Structure 1
């Protein structure tokens, strides 16, 4: 059965969520230039590559297709440099608020030329994003008098609080992600391989305009498990009755993803051990969700997470992380599973985070994971997903 892409959609409202408005992009540029002035830089270089392009997308409304650098001067028009020449026509049609240019064979040298033309070869220049060391060294060699500063943390801090238009786009990402969960609940059965499951997941949202951020999954027998957390790559393993399927799925729309984590059983209900792990995971999720609101602290979240250890379990994956335009702070593990104490952090309204307790046995052989993207509000959390919290039996 094909998913119903014409059903009522949860992001409909004051803003349709198709693309950021011109006013929204202007608001972002103003905020970034205010940050630049505060940090004392005359230009900001935003680096992006596929999956790591939150900074570029934030200001140019463009999902990077290979490699790109957005040059944002304190005054004047930004310029977006695209690595591959055949990617330039698409970028010119898609990117907004900037002039799109070819980056030539050496994109760092081309960016350095841009800064020289703007008279910025002896100034302080910031950069943000995971700029490769080769590109950084090339910039330093081309512009030895420039003081380059990594502003990635301060720019990401600026982006933690989402606008109403960003929330609308995240709702769309959550809807697309829920389509994948519905497809698994409907179609997963004995005889399919993990590769088949990935095909089901992508088919659910590609026709609705979605793109893949991640689709992690793992299958293992509940009576003799050897996997406790969704895997980053699927295998040829064939599903059999009595298996558990662990999932972490993020489908996105124009760089704004949802994220949902649910377990499924195949051809049988959960065993008592898996039912207990699921119950503990859901209780941990609900305890954390009950604490989160504007003004709540990470210490309060970590206090609630001690419940997992009190029940005799531990975790593998992160407990909670910021999300939406990148993998963002705070990134939390439980106190007993982190090497160093977490830095202090206070949540604010319109931050978006994924609560995702991955409850596992101490020997790391068995586990379940539940979770989803939520919005922090003044009084609590708003769940952006509609797919229910349940341990679904398939097949």
Structure 2
């Protein structure tokens, strides 16, 4: 992504700030076992503002009544580190790459930030981060607050993440391009799984087929831990064991996707292990698909999320009544939350740099946000009918179905970014048997 885009994001964040200092920290390394770490993944807020992908770095934004200033703290080049782990960009490389006012050595951060904080009254940080660098900044601010002879000192510590994530809620054309690429690769992976699935395979073998597509297509990482759930396993919403054998006559629910340049995709498809839906499976699947299509059709600018969620639950409750799983009037059933037993999760979530983008769902007054052009969200209705639930008609027991797509809100309504992935019963059976 062009450096101009990161510069513009910082400018917009500074516009939202009062006078003061904002500090955004990179993600720390995460230990996996003893002296080995997980593959590094940058803090999404930090990346959003500068595009820098190294750890042990900080972005500092300064705003006064007359000017703004941006500082990027990075690790200096170290030959020994380069030998073992690869060269860092270093101060000179960062100066050439990034459109910031100053690049400084992270080793000088503690002393530098104390001097900066002496001149300002507002500090913007992630209030809930456990970053040692942010803790040091808070401690420095508190120490200055109690010092004598300081004309100006930090009087308020504010949450910077709400401001950043309000900006992140609206995706630019460049961001949509990254998401499209992630979805295109994910589409190939889901189709590969459909074509390769056979009874007697293990769930992890289907996961491996998808991982091969991700890696061979240049997507280094999954966007989240893959769910490959055969049969009744689909009724465990966050099933990630992926170790059991797929059985003839069962469905398999796959919730798996990759990220591209840190931008996520998030796709779920449910299909028959043997390539042919049974009559009972077909009945439930058709209901879930009909709900999803109706919900997607309702997405357009101006629609409030609280209405949208209620609408999706009404449709799912109607579907459960039609299938004979619930009986009674919809209003009574929903008031008692009877439908939640079989459709327990929300209809969707924001998606972007994080698969569950932590962007606000309500405004500063606590009112639900209305959809607007540039927002991207998942739509993922599901019906889950456990094998041991004797209140469910026997023919449906053990069926778990979720269908998930990624939707962009447009000025005219919406665009299903993942519409190329087989989804109708005919499309899925053709793909499975192709």
> By the TM > 0.5 criterion, same fold?
yes
Cα distance per residue 1:88-118 (max 9 Å; x no partner): 83455787445676756xxxxx654331243
Shift of 1:69: 3.6
Q: 1:294 to 1:260 in 2, by over 3 A?
A: same
- 1:123-202 mapped onto 2 (5 Å cutoff): 123-128=121-126, 131-132=129-130, 136-144=134-142, 145=145, 146=154, 147-202=156-211
Question: Which of 63, 69, 72 is equivalent to 2:61?
Answer: 72
- 1:1-395 mapped onto 2 (5 Å cutoff): 20-37=1-18, 40-48=19-27, 53-63=43-53, 68-74=57-63, 75-81=68-74, 86=81, 89-90=87-88, 92=90, 96-98=98-100, 103=106, 111-120=109-118, 123-128=121-126, 131-132=129-130, 136-144=134-142, 145=145, 146=154, 147-210=156-219, 211-221=221-231, 225-229=232-236, 231=238, 233-305=240-312, 306-312=314-320, 313=339, 314-326=342-354, 327-328=356-357, 343-361=367-385, 363=389, 366-385=399-418, 386-391=420-425, 392-393=428-429, 394=432
- The answer to whether the 8 A contact 2:374-2:410 is kept is yes
Q: Secondary structure at the match of 1:376?
A: strand
The structure carrying a bigger helix percent of its residues is: 2
Shift of 1:192: 2.6
Q: 1:69 to 1:238 in 2, by over 3 A?
A: farther
Shift of 1:127: 1.6
- The 4+ residue runs of structure 1 with deviation greater than 6 A are 82-85, 99-102
The structure carrying a bigger strand percent of its residues is: 1
- The answer to whether the 8 A contact 2:379-2:406 is kept is yes
Gaps of 5+ in 2: 29-39, 146-153, 321-338, 390-396
Q: 1:47 to 1:388 in 2, by over 3 A?
A: same
Give me the whole-angstrom Cα distance separating, in 2, the residues matched to 1:43 and 1:329: 19
Q: 1:229 to 1:177 in 2, by over 3 A?
A: farther
Q: 1:23 to 1:103 in 2, by over 3 A?
A: closer
Cα distance per residue 1:254-300 (max 9 Å; x no partner): 11122211112112522333322222221121111111111111133
Q: TM-score, normalised by structure 1?
A: 0.78
Shift of 1:348: 0.6
Give me the whole-angstrom Cα distance separating, in 1, the residues matched to 2:286 and 2:77: 50
Larger radius of gyration: 2
Q: TM-score, normalised by structure 2?
A: 0.72
Q: Name the residue aligned to 1:5.
A: none
Aligned length: 356
